[in-house]
A and B are shown apart, each in its own frame.
Chain A
């Protein structure tokens, strides 16, 4: 870990100003940043501690939505009564992530901005376009069991590891940002993270110095919500694939559907093709299969991760069955 100076920000505006200096970075829970600093992957020279900013509240919005402060920690969001009853998919996703200890530290903002778990990314000796643009991608032709099947490029096949962001993507969340110019803007979460393309080191649309101040959830969409995470051990493991599904059905016909996937792409992946295949169709096995096929029609395996295509399809299939038929075995 390289030497750095440290300051604790007292208000958001001051924080944004403080981080504008070269080499400065925000630190919130620190559970991802410090992890990577110890490995010499992140090398900030100045840390602006925003963990005590008054951005921890979860507020009701007039339209029936919620505004979740960026400094709210994952456990508090997951345990919030309004989130639990109105956005259970978000509680479920948060609770499926990391461990009790980590969730007590991890902030909403930091969770969105956590970096990939690609092992070559965190190994300074390996070529990695994300860490060192132009150096190559060790995962292609290497051990890529946890890597992307959708939206990857020949420059990078990493995945975004967040569970929380998958649920938020299905919920049509907006990210509230405070810019270096002190202006506030909102970006839809689906547009917040980028695909790798030729610039895998640019992961989001954040401008330099911009701070996440909140995530805004629109009013809960109609239908039942479910998050399903598939992993190699029962807990404390990242998703191989995960599915967030919010589906409404009337008299056996699907009237509204939102689907998002984790563990499959460089960003939380909104399954628009699957949604199109669901809406106005009967809530049946044939429909779920069609949705699964549509969702992964363009999926590409890279060797060790080939199984993810079939796994993701099956996970979606079952999640849809469960969310539309409450009698289906719950996870």
Chain B
């Protein structure tokens, strides 16, 4: 058996992608699809209230228009009812145009379908809507008195936890940090918009949805439940997905509306959200206000630790992000508490955005740890090492494989951490104030039920199939490697087919579980196949051989109860802050990560670097701003919602420590898709403090927030 797993091989889908031949959802022009019609969504221009009158006459008369669907003529749809078998909302019905009530700005009030895109978009302006607006609550900061405790957080995670007696321990601590941090609304905004090409068959009794989605099984379930159809009559096709980052775990209005229209018109219909609409129709990362309290002894040992997160929720679609939950297993401290509260607002429901929980939570916590290190005049690395737990501090179970200290030590060494400016604001390079910062990364390792099938033909070529997706994560490549190694075949004799509902089901790509889930399922399928081949005396019959492999969800795997399982890392960043204007520029960054076994060092590094850059965005750029009068996101395009561009990103490297987590799964693999955003932003925030002596606790750290703290540098 040649070792293929881990090899830094090029992506098997690379040549297709770089030549524009990989086909994304909106791009299926195969003969059996046919010429589609184009749908354009019309969104509400109020944030709360109801449609008083809607007149589609002008739109219907416009050139090329085939259908204008509103709540007056939309078909009956399923209503959202929680599915006890799946602890996430993405498998649940999502009816559109189902009532005149408006719950958030931009909510679809009509779909205009026309022969061409230009006609549909033009006619969308001709739908006349009158609203009865009601006062809405849009301003998070003004509504904290309304905060309530959710029953549980998403995935059934406990809302609050407490160990020991935090209050008295904190009161008695020698050194205390008690700070509030705020983080903004953020959007995933993958480069491919949320789109669906809906193709009806047999008079609309069967539907094919070419859709940009991370989880094929969730898309199918949501569609079936919403359109009140047998799931078997719905076919999902998603071979290539132009990024997701959480925003495509579920299908949204684009898919439901395209399918409703296609079924009714008995013609293919495609709908793409405009970039502006994505800011109103897809869930965002909640804004937050996080209070962090750290009480320590003079030697840096934490005696009391509290992290309380207040977030927003849409009362109709409550979704509570586990923003402080990671802390339950991160640092040791005898007295501790975590708490989550929700403030109801009339905004679209929030959803997963890359590393929900840890990403915003670590921005706050790891900034606070830096404040503590500063207060103690300690090396931030040593402070963290001094609070390294030996067992999971709240669950009191062993860690499966915890290498945080190693990541920090290795990173500090490679980065030249010892050369950091000892005092904030003390180093200058030309017009830049220079600072170093570091932060720890940790991300829980989840597991979800996943099946895969492997078939080998008499020609000795193998095909791997799963409804798993490759959203840029490298699934095609790593599964090719795993199957090749397990079957003892060269990679070019293995073909991986993904993203179709006809294939064995999985929970797709999300929560950093995709690679571990699918690689282990494929491994099992391969083992089963090899077993079959052995019983057939090593011969492959003319009709070939086939086998399935399956892994169970975390709740059915005792290791997830008996061990605390996470992946870890450490970030080191150097920033420059302009002495006059306070523009902040990253100068270099290094991440060191330990996530069990790595399936492909090349694609893993890419993904880790990508996540680190998301941390740069979270620290310095990204913020979606609500107009508290209308409930609309004001800066809803890519010219005003800023994400990092090439010029913002200098040399960045990500290093992975070779490893194997034997408790995680047979391949020893843990997730990496979200790990590297965790803590990344905090390392940059801490570097900004080190550069300037100005601590900004309101993210993102834009220049206007540093400016008042930094005096004019005289010439």
Judged by CB atoms under 8 Å, the answer to whether A and B touch is: yes
A→B interface (CB under 8 Å): 1-3, 38, 40, 117, 119-120, 123-126, 138, 141-143, 145-146, 230-238, 240, 284-285, 288-289, 307, 310-311, 314-315, 317-318, 321, 325, 328-329, 331
Residues of A within 8 A of B635 (CB): 119, 143
In the complex, per-residue mask of B681-715: 1 if CB is within 8 Å of any chain A CB, else 0? 00000000000000000000011100110001011
Knowing A125-B45, A285-B715, A331-B431 are in contact, say whether A307-B583 is a contact too (CB < 8 A): no
B645 lies within 8 A of A3 (CB): no
> Chain A interface: which of B163-171, B537-545, B621-629?
B621-629
> Chain A interface: which of B117-125, B448-456, B507-515, B607-615?
B117-125
**10 A-B pairs closest in CB distance:** A235-B647, A125-B45, A307-B704, A234-B647, A329-B430, A329-B431, A318-B580, A321-B715, A314-B580, A143-B634
Cα(A38)–Cα(B276), bound, Å = 12
Cα(A266)–Cα(B122), bound, Å = 30
Residues of B within 8 A of A288 (CB): 715
Residues of B within 8 A of A232 (CB): 621, 642, 702-703
A1 lies within 8 A of B630 (CB): no
B642 lies within 8 A of A314 (CB): no
Number of A-B contacts (CB under 8 A): 98
B581 lies within 8 A of A230 (CB): yes
Cα(A2)–Cα(B715), bound, Å = 55
Nearest B residue to A98 via CB reads: B639
Nearest A residue to B704 via CB reads: A307
Knowing A1-B122, A38-B121, A288-B715 are in contact, say whether A236-B645 is a contact too (CB < 8 A): yes
Which of B430, B634, B707 contacts A142 (CB under 8 A)?
B634
B703 lies within 8 A of A230 (CB): yes
Residues of B within 8 A of A311 (CB): 581, 703-704, 707
B585 lies within 8 A of A310 (CB): no
Q: Does B413 make an interface contact (CB < 8 A)?
A: no
Cα(A146)–Cα(B703), bound, Å = 13
Closest CB-CB distance, B554 to chain A, in whole Å?
A: 39
Closest CB-CB distance, B625 to chain A, in whole Å?
A: 5
Q: Does B63 make an interface contact (CB < 8 A)?
A: yes
A314 lies within 8 A of B583 (CB): no
Q: Does B640 make an interface contact (CB < 8 A)?
A: yes
A328 lies within 8 A of B715 (CB): yes
Q: Which of B102-142 contact A (CB under 8 A)?
A: 118, 121-122, 125
Which of A120, A230, A310 contacts B583 (CB under 8 A)?
A230
A235 lies within 8 A of B645 (CB): yes
B707 lies within 8 A of A2 (CB): no
B715 lies within 8 A of A117 (CB): no
A315 lies within 8 A of B122 (CB): no
Q: Does B644 make an interface contact (CB < 8 A)?
A: yes
7 contacting pairs across A/B (C-beta < 8 A): A125-B632, A237-B639, A314-B581, A314-B712, A318-B580, A321-B715, A329-B431
Closest CB-CB distance, B437 to chain A, in whole Å?
A: 19
Closest CB-CB distance, B247 to chain A, in whole Å?
A: 21
B704 lies within 8 A of A123 (CB): no
Residues of B within 8 A of A285 (CB): 714-715
Q: Does B648 make an interface contact (CB < 8 A)?
A: yes
B639 lies within 8 A of A238 (CB): yes
Cα(A123)–Cα(B708), bound, Å = 32
B121 lies within 8 A of A1 (CB): yes
Nearest A residue to B650 via CB reads: A234
Q: Does B646 make an interface contact (CB < 8 A)?
A: yes
Cα(A52)–Cα(B347), bound, Å = 47
A142 lies within 8 A of B629 (CB): yes
Nearest A residue to B46 via CB reads: A125
Q: Which of B418-463 contact A (CB under 8 A)?
A: 430-431
